[in-house]
Amino acid sequence: MQSLMRELSSPWLAILFFVLMAPMAGFAESGLPVEPVGVDQITAKLPPLSLHHLQTLTDTNGIHEFARGTNPWHENGYCAEDVARALAAVTQFENVTGNTNARPLAKIYLRYLQNSLRADDQLWNRPGRMLTSGDSYGRVLWGLGYAAAGHPDPEIAGPAATLFLQILSGYNGKLKGYVIAKACAIQGLTAYVRKYPGGAPQAALEELVKQNLAAYRRRQSLDWKWFEAKMTYDTGRLPLALLLAYEATGEAECRQAGLESLDFLLKACFTSDGKQLRPVGNQGWYPRGGTPALFDQQPIDAASIVEACVAAYRITGEKKYTACAGKAFAWFLGNNVKGAAIYDSVSGGCRDGLTIAGANPNEGGESTIMYFIARCSLESLKNHE
């Protein structure tokens, strides 16, 4: 604990750490905190929203996929799925803050994606080596759809919409049947359709939502409220996609299945007393009938759980979800099984996960982007109190 507190040298971070570690009144049968937490309690002492490490990882081409420590790993280069999620992140940043300082980054990210387009409307994930497909394709649709619908600068939103529509054709084959890839695509499609209803995006949204709902119906039972026989990575994305679909379409089953699966996820990932998030580890995952693997825990899971809880609060107004959002975010600040700070308050970056030995010291693209999206999601709560 002493080593952690030396790292949490900023007064606001130390205060927030102890606020979010404070015991809850207990855990309900659903696995959710009994004691509700208000938005003001969650947002009052958050770390500042800093672009610093995104800027460090970004050059004139795009955002680097990996880092050695805090330094970009130039030799490894870039990938479209990270660039697209970075575009979503800086779009969300401007929406929740009104600050235009991230527009130069958004233009770099958009240009990278435009330059990745082939003549056949396929998109390179890694230039000349690998096309976007499955998760990477879904993530590109997420980033472009969100920027097309939500970026305040029409010089960014307009070209993002054009590229989004260009690559949407053949979406079913490109997503390859993966429920998480479809969830990512749904996130971009819901944003786009809420602003521009109808046409091919509306049809694609309805089809992908139908497919993920069908997957949920096939797998779920009294003791397993999930979409697959094994809970793996980016876990919050699956319930989040259905909750966003409910907001876009009003489909009641999306609301019911989204909240039900989110509650199941929270029960699986929080300790029984509700004090600490323990995302499903990638060394074995969480198979049906088994127990969740403890390591390695990834920032993408903590972040997607924050996003899903924020969406659940928007829809229900129930403050148990703000409590869960705050506790999930506290994972980044050291309220985790190793007591290790995953967020780097000096660089503004995010370490690449939590292993049995502690925090991974590298601060790469995905981890930093996902932390930033989680932090922006909590900032958005201020608009829904």
**Alpha-carbon distance 382 to 375, whole Å?**
12
> Which CATH number fits the domain that encloses residue 302?
1.50.10.10
pLDDT tens for residues 30-71?
Answer: 555 546 677 777 777 789 999 999 999 999 999 999 999 999
Cα radius of gyration rounded to whole Å, the chain = 19
Domain count, the chain: 1
Range of the domain at 64: 2-384
The pLDDT, as a whole number, for residue 35 is 64
pLDDT at 12 over 60: no
The pLDDT, as a whole number, for residue 19 is 45
The pLDDT, as a whole number, for residue 385 is 60
pLDDT tens for residues 255-290?
Answer: 999 999 999 999 999 999 999 999 999 999 999 999
The pLDDT, as a whole number, for residue 383 is 78
pLDDT at 246 over 90: yes
Confidence of residue 213 (pLDDT cuts 50, 70, 90): very high
The pLDDT of 178-194, averaged and rounded, is 98
